[in-house]
Amino acid sequence: MAKSRKLEETLALLSQFLEEPTSEEAVSTLGQVLKSKYAVAVAKAAKMVSEADIYQLFPALVAAFDRFMINPEATDPNCIAKTGIARAFIAWSLARKASSSKASGMYSC
């Protein structure tokens, strides 16, 4: 199967879970896609994981980031996957910071 066709199928599979990304099947699929060699698919999966707060896939995000750092010029030349994963980490960090600020009664600008 051609690379672009396999990528298209992976992206279409992810799109099936946009409405319910936290379902058991969706979480399993997201975890598998994060192991994919396709940077675009990994970036999309990372965004879905972040937006749905699927924290159990945090280790998979770390592993994917580490994998794309090995020979990055070949594995992720445009930094699509690494950027998507980094954005997921930043979003979680900001959400956690906002949550802890509200809990402590402190708000920052």
Q: Distance between CA 84 and CA 82 in Å, rounded? A: 5
Q: Distance between CA atoms of 31 and 46, rounded to whole angstroms?
A: 10
Tell me: the pLDDT tens digits for 81-104?
999 999 999 988 876 766 665 555
User: What pLDDT digit, counting tens, does each position of 30-84 carry?
Assistant: 999 999 999 999 999 999 999 999 999 999 999 999 999 999 999 999 999 999 9
Asked if residue 108 belongs to a domain, the reply is no
Q: How far is CA 60 from the centre of its chain?
A: 9
Any domain includes 78: yes
When divided into structural domains, the chain yields a total of 1
* pLDDT of 107 above 60: no
The verdict on residue 31 lying in a domain is yes
- Let me know: does 50 contact 95? Beta carbons within 8 Å: no
Distance, CA of 43 to CA of 89 (rounded, Å): 12
* Structural domain includes residue 28: yes
